[in-house]
Chains A and B, each alone.
Chain A
Amino acid sequence: EIVMTQSPATLSVSPGERATLSCRASQSVNNNLAWYQQKPGQAPRLLIYDASTRATGIPARFSGSGSATEFTLTISSLQSEDFAVYYCQQYNNWPPITFGQGTRLEIK
């Protein structure tokens, strides 16, 4: 099973600043990695797939990078609606499909 590890667990950032979230895989997942945003009481929403491709309707301030075992989600200028929990997911080697434990992005 591929273990996905996200860091930090909680990130405090001021609106307008840049946020950088990390995701590490226990073995290479090539570029088969997705990022999701989840707000309280809502279903997760796909942000990024194939490590760096924005999903339909996702603002350009969200960008993904990385390959193999190290990945980054960057939010270039935080808006109030961006404060949420973010998860990474690998779909390279499954079952099982595995998620990171999440990073909570909170307002500083």
Chain B
Amino acid sequence: EVQLLESGGDLVQPGGSLRLSCVASGFSFSSYAMSWVRQAPGKGLEWVSGISAGGTTYYADSVKGRFTISRDNSRNTLNLQMNGLRAEDTAVYHCAKGGVTIFGVIKNNWFDPWGQGTLVTVSS
């Protein structure tokens, strides 16, 4: 069974930092792109960042320069380092399994499955 389990969410002050992790199991982690998608309380889904199987990274403009996505294929782990946190970053953060890389391009980048998410609250 494919599973994703996030951790690391917490209450943090504005300007603070937090590191989220997502441990994957049940599939060949190193072969797939992965993404972080967040959902603010009562709001819709917002893609935050993605990383290809080979380590190429992608970011939403809202987090570029503040967040860093990385992966450790030896540990089947996806990470999101979040610096300079703002109140508007408050959300449940989900990791999700994405598409495959073909000739350097990520294809079929729908998300399946998703982890249950970890809550990040930015407040003083």
Interface residues of A (CB under 8 A from B): 34, 36, 42-46, 49-50, 55, 87, 89, 91, 94-102
Known: A44-B45, A99-B44, A101-B44. A91 touches B114 (CB 8 A): no
Q: At the interface, is chain B mostly helix, strand, loop or mixed?
A: loop
| Measured CA separation A71–B117 after assembly (Å) | 28
Residue of B nearest to A38 (CB): B45
A105 and B14 CA atoms in complex are apart in Å by 36
Pick from B45, B50, B59, B60: contact of A87, CB below 8 A. B45
Chain A CB within 8 A of B101 CB: no
Of the candidates A42, A99, A100, A101, the one whose C-beta lies within 8 Å of that of B47 is: A99
Give residues 37-68 of B contacting A (CB, 8 Å).
Answer: 44-47, 50, 58-61
With A46-B111, A46-B113, A89-B110 in contact, is A99–B58 under 8 Å at CB? no
7 closest Cβ contacts across the A-B interface? A46-B112, A34-B110, A43-B114, A91-B109, A97-B47, A95-B58, A49-B110
* Residues of B close to A89: CB separation below 8 A: 45, 110-111
**Which chain B residues border A94 with CB–CB below 8 Å?**
47, 58, 109
Besides A42-B116, A44-B45, A89-B110, 14 new A-B residue pairs in contact (Cβ under 8 A), listed by A number: A34-B110, A34-B111, A43-B115, A45-B113, A46-B111, A49-B108, A49-B110, A87-B44, A94-B58, A95-B47, A97-B109, A98-B47, A99-B44, A100-B44
Q: List 7 A-B contacts (CB under 8 A).
A: A34-B110, A43-B115, A49-B108, A87-B44, A94-B47, A95-B50, A99-B45
The residue on B at minimum CB distance from A43 is B114
- CB of B112 to closest CB in A, whole Å: 4
Main SS class of interface, A: loop
Q: Is B71 an interface residue (CB 8 A)?
A: no
A95–B112 Cα distance when bound, in Å, is 18
Q: Which residues of B contact A87 (CB under 8 A)?
A: 44-45
Separation of A49 and B108 alpha carbons in the complex (Å): 8
Are the C-beta atoms of A91 and B99 separated by less than 8 Å? yes
Shortest Cβ distance from A85 into B: residue: B44
Most central of A43, A45, A89, A96 by chain B CB within 10 Å:
A43
The closest CB in chain A to the CB of B99 belongs to: A91
